[in-house]
Amino acid sequence: MRWELEQLCKLSEEQPEIVDRALNTLWEHEPLILRRVVIGAYLDQQIGLSKAAEILGVTRLELQRQFLQQGIPVRLLSADEVKAEVEVLRP
pLDDT 10s digits, 61-82 = 999 999 999 999 998 777 787 7
pLDDT-derived band at 87 (thresholds 50, 70, 90) equals: confident
Percent of the chain at pLDDT > 90 equals: 79
Please tell me the total number of residues recorded for the chain in this structure: 91
State yes or no: pLDDT of 16 exceeds 90: yes
Which pLDDT value is given to residue 91? 76
Q: Is 50 exposed, middle or buried (0-12, 13-18, 19+ CB in 10 A)?
A: middle
For the chain, give every domain's residue range.
Answer: 2-89
AA identity, residue 87: E
Mean pLDDT of the chain: 91
> Over 80: is that where the pLDDT of 27 sits?
yes
